[in-house]
Amino acid sequence: MIAIVKYNAGNIRSVKNALDRLNVESKLTDDPEELAAAEKVIFPGVGEAKSAMNYLNERKLDEVLISLKQPFLGICLGMQLMCSYSEERDTKCLGIFEEKVKKFPPKGLVPHMGWNDFTAINGPLFQNIEKEENMYFVHSYYVEVGRDTIGETEYLIPFASALQKNNFYGVQFHPEKSADSGRKLIENFLKI
């Protein structure tokens, strides 16, 4: 069973719907035991960093998530919360990745919303996905390119569009809203 982390964020149901379309059993949960026992965990979300981290901390889900050994995928806000720190309301995050989350500079249209491709990709999440393939993004904050970067995209500046460290994976885009390319990425995660 795939556990989808239930927390104070939006857009979680779309991930469940994407897994349903692939005939994959999943459950939306904030139960620590169910998360620990799941075959894989997906940490999606659209929302605001501080209130989402408060929800995780109050329920001790922060401790559970960083201790997981199974494949773990953070999507959009989920990936940002896996980083060490977010400028969004001065938020200490989970610290799985060393990278920091910053606000896009005010020199273009923010949020970054729409389809974009990659300047670099690497690793098992991107099996059979080309740099020219587009994924759907919607975000005002970005993750700095760093040692855990496995996908890089450019919008105003280069940023990390995918991260990986051990069993932890993160993507800034929304694979559940990214048509065939996103479906391939979800299928690749399910094979890990």
- Mean local confidence (pLDDT), 113-118: 96
pLDDT of residue 56: 97
Q: What percent of the chain has pLDDT over 70?
A: 100
Distance in angstroms (rounded) separating the CA atoms of residues 131 and 41: 26
- Which pLDDT does position 12 carry in this prediction? 86
Q: From CA 70, how far away is CA 36, in angstroms rounded?
A: 8
Catalytic residue among 48, 76, 99, 133: 76
pLDDT of residue 100: 97
- C-alpha to C-alpha distance for 137 and 189, rounded to whole angstroms: 19
Q: Beta 91-92 vs 85-86: how paired, if at all?
A: antiparallel
Catalytic residue among 48, 88, 99, 176: 176
| Mean pLDDT to the nearest integer, 63-91 | 98
CA 50, CA 56: separation in Å to the nearest integer?
10
Does residue 113 carry a pLDDT above 90? yes
Average of per-residue pLDDT across 158-178: 98
CB atoms closer than 10 angstroms to residue 12: 21
Residue whose token pair is 């949020």? 111
167 CB neighbour count, 10 Å cutoff: 15
Q: What is the pLDDT of residue 107?
A: 83
So what's the pLDDT on residue 134? 97
Phi, psi of 115, deg, nearest 5: -90, 140
Residue ranges covered by each domain of the chain: 2-191
pLDDT greater than 90 at residue 97: yes
* pLDDT number for residue 142: 98
Q: Which amino acid is at 83?
A: C
Q: Give the pLDDT score at 168.
A: 98
128: pLDDT strictly greater than 90:
yes
CA distance 37 to 27: 12
Measure the CA–CA gap between 80 and 161, rounded to whole angstroms.
Answer: 10
What are the tokens at 52?
């989402």
Rounded to 5°, the CA angle 97-118-68 comes to 25
Token pair of 118 as six digits: 């990659």
Range 2-191: architecture per CATH: 3-Layer(aba) Sandwich (3.40)
Average pLDDT taken over every residue of the chain: 96
Note if 176 is an active site residue. yes
Residue 27: both structure tokens together: 């459950």
**What's the pTM value of the predicted model, to 2 decimals?**
0.97
> Does the annotation count 152 as an active-site position?
no
d(CA 175, CA 74): 11
For the cut 90, the answer to whether the pLDDT of residue 10 exceeds it is no
* Annotated catalytic residue, options 63, 132, 174, 187: 174
Q: Active site includes 93?
A: no
What is the distance between the alpha carbons of residues 91 and 24, in angstroms, rounded to a whole number?
34
At 29, which amino acid appears? T
Distance CA 70, CA 166 (A): 10
pLDDT digits (tens, 9 = 90+) for 18-59: 999 999 999 999 999 999 999 999 999 899 999 999 999 999
